[in-house]
Homo-oligomer: A and B are copies of this chain.
Amino acid sequence: MTTQELVAQIKKKKSFLCIGLDVDLDKIPPHLLKEEDPVFAFNKAIIDATHHLCVSYKPNTAFYEAYGLKGWKSLEKTINYLNENYPGIFTIADAKRGDIGNTSTMYAKAFFEDLAFDSVTVAPYMGKDSVEPFLAFEDKHTIMLALTSNEGAFDFQTKQINDKELYKHVLETSKSWKNFENLMYVVGATKAEYFTEIRKIVPNSFLLVPGVGAQGGNLQDVCKYGLSENIGLLINSSRGIIYASNKTDFAEAAAKKALELQVQMADILS
């Protein structure tokens, strides 16, 4: 999917919502546990109930890998189901990968070819040659961690390098990388005041914003400082939507929560 197609989807749906599919067997409705593949059954129901309210789904690979082969199978079924039934959806493998050149190419193949995701999240610590192999894939997007929503973000990301925080250095440096136009960034919603500074460095890039809802971030604040000319935001909510109920009405409850956010987004966009 191209960036232009993503923007068109956002305008059409009046939504820049991304739903995180972080599926934990301890948290899904117990009646699903008797299904052959409870994780996929859960995802399918959530997707069918919410696809018109969001533009993106983001399975976090940790939750699938924790269940081993079975989990990887659930992930494969989920991405195939999305691509077959909802081709307008922008799919994100939240994998936070990164390794030396030839190895990053293998990760890119895993997520862009074997599993046909539109994008994958990566970590910046190993620098340019760990990220460029992902950027080489046409019409695929690489979403690099910049400023994350957790407490540990203050351990290194906000430390000063020559009077500039590490995350700003990461943003600036990445602008010179080959196929930079395929790069997006993760910026946590819990740090809304930072968006002004970030927009000075990457005015037009898409930002994937976790931390709205369960982690305490505020949608209005993020949009106030983070919206770009081309919208440029994907707001992620995971637990707040998918675990809205753990009874048989879980999918409708999720849709209700997603609708609440979509209505706010439509208002912001108008």
Check if A228 is an interface residue, CB within 8 A of chain B: no
- Tell whether, in the assembled complex, residue B152 and residue A63 are in contact, meaning their CB atoms are under 8 Å apart: no
Q: How far is the CB of A95 from chain B (nearest CB, A)?
A: 9
Residues of chain A in range 152-179 having any CB-CB distance to chain B below 8 Å: 152-157, 159-162, 166, 169-170, 173
- A109 in contact (CB, < 8 A): yes
Q: Is the CB of B96 within 8 A of A148?
A: no
State which of B124, B154, B159 has its C-beta within 8 Å of the C-beta of A161: B159
**What interface size band does chain A fall in?**
35 or more
Residues from chain B with a CB closer than 8 A to the CB of A110 are 62, 65-66, 68, 71
Alpha-carbon distance A150/B148, docked complex (angstroms): 24
Bound Cα distance A151, B130 (Å): 9
Give CA–CA (A25, B41) in the complex, Å.
34
Bound complex: CA A149 to CA B71 (Å): 32
Closest B residue to A164 by beta carbon equals: B159
- Assess whether A127 is in contact with B115, with CB atoms less than 8 Å apart: no
Q: Which of B68, B76, B107, B109 contacts A115 (CB 8 A)?
A: B68
Contact pattern, A 44-76, Cβ under 8 Å of B = 1, otherwise 0: 000000000000000010110111110111001
Top-9 shortest CB links A-B: A127-B152, A127-B155, A65-B110, A62-B106, A68-B114, A66-B106, A129-B152, A100-B150, A66-B109
Interface pairs (14), CB distance under 8 Å: A22-B103, A62-B103, A62-B107, A63-B103, A65-B111, A66-B110, A68-B72, A72-B72, A96-B99, A125-B157, A126-B148, A131-B152, A156-B166, A156-B170
Q: Which residues of A contact B (CB under 8 A)?
A: 22, 24, 60, 62-63, 65-69, 71-73, 76, 94, 96-101, 103-104, 106-107, 109-111, 114-115, 123-131, 145, 148-157, 159-162, 166, 169-170, 173
